[in-house]
Structure 1
C-alpha cells in the first residue's frame, strides 16, 4: 500500500471521527431540561441546558406555574397554573410566547402528560369523580374523557413510549390507616383506561413513575425509612431496586433521551436542587444551586 493511500485512509478516519463528535455535540446541545423553581419568589417554569447553564424563565407570571411536561417533538411544554384563579392546564412554546389555555373547569386540573404522538394529553382532575382521577383530552383541550373513576386519590400519569399503556399512582388506604399519605402504589392500565393492574407492592408511598425510552424499565420515587429515594424496576414490576439510597430526599425522576441518566430533585430542610445520576456509574452531578425549591425536572 503506497504512502498516498495510507494518508488518505487516515484522513477519512479522522474526518469521520470529527463528524461523529460534532453530531454528538449537536445532539446534546439540542437537549434541555425544564423544571420548577421559586428563585423569583413564586413557582415558575425554567429551562436550562443539561449541564445547568443557559437558564431561561419560561412562564414569568405572578401565579403558581407547575409540573412541566414536554411534547415529544420538543416544541411545547404543558403545565398547570393558577394564573386564572384555579388550577388549569396550559401549553406554551419554548420561547414563552404562544400560551394556550386547554382546560376551563371549576375543579382543579393538574399534572398534564402529552402522548408520544402529540395528539392527546393526560391530566388529573377532581371533576365528576369521588376523588382526583385520570383524564384524557385532545391536545387542543377538546374531547375530555375520564379514564378512572373511584374514591381513591390518584396522581402522576405517564405514557409508555408506544402510547399503549399508562402508569400512574393510586393511593390505597386500609380502613385502619389514618395517616396523611397512606400507601401509594404504581399501577398500569391500557390507554383507554381498561385492565388496571398494580405494579408495586412495597411499604411507603410510591409515585412519579416514568417509563425508560425503550419501555423496558420504570423509574419512580418511593418512601424508605421516612425518606424519599429513587427506585427502578422492570416494566412488569419485577427486579425492583433502590438506585439512590441517599442521605437526602430524592424524588421526581425523569429519563435522558438515551436512557443512560436520570434527572431528579434532591435536598432537605426546604432546600432542593436539580441533580442527574448516571445509571451505570452512579455518578451524581448537581445542576442547580440555590436556596428554596428547584424541582420536577423533565429532560428533552
Structure 2
C-alpha cells in the first residue's frame, strides 16, 4: 500500500509538471522560436516548447511582442522610461533600442513587408479618429502614418497591397460574447485604391486580432459563443473556422512561416491551418519572480477599501490586498484578522453587537461566507449557492441573517442559525456597479434595495422576510 501511494504521488506530480507553466500570453512565432509575455516580461522558447529564456526584466510592463520578418529581432512595447513606447531587441537578447518618443502609448502590431515596425498610436487623435497605424524604421527616425484614417489592431499583408485591421479599441475586451456597437468586423482595405472588404458577421459578433497567413486573414471570432480562430480569403470571400474550443477563449494569436501560435486556457498552442490540428505546448518558465516573494508592504489610506465601522465606533474594518484588517480609532494597534496569503478575503462587516465579523472568502476554491469573532478566531464557513462574486453584506439588527448581492444581480438572505439561503430578488437588467445594496429595517423583517424597472429607471423595493413577498416603494 505504501508503495502504491508513493507511485500515485509521483504520477500526480509528474502530470502537474508535464502541463508546464500557465498564464503565458501574447505569443509571437518565428520559424524556430516563440516569444511570449509572462509576469510582464518577455521570454523566448523553442517553437516546440521546453525551458524558456528571459529576454527582459524591467520593472515596468513589456507586451505585444512581434518577430521581424527574418526572425532576428523582436519589436515590442515597453515602459522602460516610464512611457509606453516601441522598442526592438535581438532575438538572442541584449539591450533594447527605443524607437518612439511620443508621450502617448505606442503599441506594436507587427512589421511591414519592407522591415519597419508597425504600431498603433493616438498621436494624431481627434474625435471619431482616435488611433492610426504608423511605421518606424528599426534604425530610428520619425514615424510615418499608414494611409488609413482610423485603425487599432492589424497588419499589412506580406505583399504590401492590403491592410487587415479593426478600426477601434474596446473599453472591455474581456466581455465575453459581446454583441453591441463596439463589435466590429475585420476591415480589409486595398492600400492603392482604398477598396474595402469586411469579414461577415452573421450574429453581429466581434472580430479581433487579425493576422496574415498564406494570403488569408486569420482572426478571433465569437460566432459560436466562444472566441475561436477563423480565416477569411479576400480573393474568394470564403471563411472557415479552425479551432473549436468551448470552455476557454482564444485570447491572442500570431502567424509564423508555416503555423499559427495562439493563447488559450493559459497555455500556448500551435495550429496547422491545413488540417486544423493543434498542439498544446509544454513550456517551463523559471526565474526569481521577485514579485511573488513574501515581503512587507506599506499600507496607505488610499489603498484601504470597503470600510465598516464597529457599533461602538472604536474600531473599523478594512479590506487590503485580500486581507481583513481591524484598525482602532485612537488607542491600540491594527489586527490582521485573516492573515491568509493566497486567499482573497472580501467585504468585511460587523455584527450588530460588535462581537463578530463576517466576510467573503475563496479559501475553499469558491467564495463562501465566513463568520468569526472580532479577533478573527473560531471562524465558521457557510457554502453559498450560485458560486460567483458576492458584494455588500448587511447584517440584520437581530443578528440572525445577512443579506448580500452577487454578480448576477441577485439579492440573497442567509440564516446564520440554519445556513439556509434564499434568493429574494433579481434585477431586470445589467448595470456596471453590480450590487443592489440591500439594507435591513430596524425590526429585521424587511430588506430594502434598488431595482430597475422596464423603463430602466430605478425604484426602491422592499422584501418581507417573514411573508416572503416583495413590494415596490417608489
Task: State the TM-score, normalizing by the size of structure 2.
Answer: 0.47
Higher RCO (CA 8 Å, separation ≥ 6 residues): 1
Contact 2:75-2:89 at 8 Å conserved across structures: yes
Matches of 2:37 and 2:169, distance apart in 1: 28
Deviation string, structure 1 residues 238-279 (Cα, Å, up to 9, x no partner): 111221121121132223313xx3211111xxxx21111232
Matches within 5 A, 1:126-145: 126-130=122-126, 131-145=130-144
Deviation at 1:280, TM superposition (A): 3.6
Matches of 1:238 and 1:107, distance apart in 2: 37
Deviation at 1:93, TM superposition (A): 0.6
**Are 1:124 and 2:120 an aligned pair?**
yes
**Are 1:249 and 2:249 an aligned pair?**
yes
Deviation string, structure 1 residues 93-143 (Cα, Å, up to 9, x no partner): 11221311000011111124222231x222100111121221222233323
Residues 274/99 of structure 1: CA separation in 2 closer, same or farther (3 Å cut)? same
Contact 1:187-1:196 at 8 Å conserved across structures: no
1:220 aligned partner: 219
Deviation at 1:207, TM superposition (A): 1.7
Supply the RMSD in Å over aligned alpha carbons. Answer: 2.8
Matches of 2:234 and 2:33, distance apart in 1: 26
Matches of 1:126 and 1:172, distance apart in 2: 11
1:278 aligned partner: 272
Matches of 1:233 and 1:149, distance apart in 2: 21
Contact 1:231-1:244 at 8 Å conserved across structures: yes
Say which of 70, 74, 99 aligns to 1:73: 70
- Return 5+ residue gaps in structure 1 as ranges: 1-28, 292-300
Rg bigger for which structure?
2
Structure 1 runs (4+) deviating above 6 angstroms are 178-181
Deviation at 1:164, TM superposition (A): 2.7
Residues 180/144 of structure 1: CA separation in 2 closer, same or farther (3 Å cut)? farther
- Return 5+ residue gaps in structure 2 as ranges: 1-29, 171-177, 286-474
Matches of 2:109 and 2:95, distance apart in 1: 17
Matches within 5 A, 1:180-219: 182-191=182-191, 195=194, 197-202=196-201, 203-212=204-213, 214-215=214-215, 217-219=216-218
Contact 2:120-2:132 at 8 Å conserved across structures: yes
Matches of 1:180 and 1:82, distance apart in 2: 33
Matches of 1:30 and 1:253, distance apart in 2: 15
Deviation at 1:146, TM superposition (A): 2.4
Deviation at 1:286, TM superposition (A): 1.1
Residues 132/279 of structure 1: CA separation in 2 closer, same or farther (3 Å cut)? same
1:266 aligned partner: 264
Deviation at 1:221, TM superposition (A): 0.7
Say which of 99, 103, 123 aligns to 2:100: 103
Contact 1:199-1:236 at 8 Å conserved across structures: no
1:157 aligned partner: 154
When the two structures are aligned, how many residues end up with a matched partner? 243
Task: State the TM-score, normalizing by the size of structure 1.
Answer: 0.72
Residues 82/265 of structure 1: CA separation in 2 closer, same or farther (3 Å cut)? same
Deviation string, structure 1 residues 2-31 (Cα, Å, up to 9, x no partner): xxxxxxxxxxxxxxxxxxxxxxxxxxx961
Deviation at 1:149, TM superposition (A): 6.5
1:7 aligned partner: none
Residues 48/179 of structure 1: CA separation in 2 closer, same or farther (3 Å cut)? same
Residues 181/227 of structure 1: CA separation in 2 closer, same or farther (3 Å cut)? farther
3-state SS of paired residue (2:185): strand
Deviation string, structure 1 residues 197-229 (Cα, Å, up to 9, x no partner): 1321312221211111x32x2211112354311
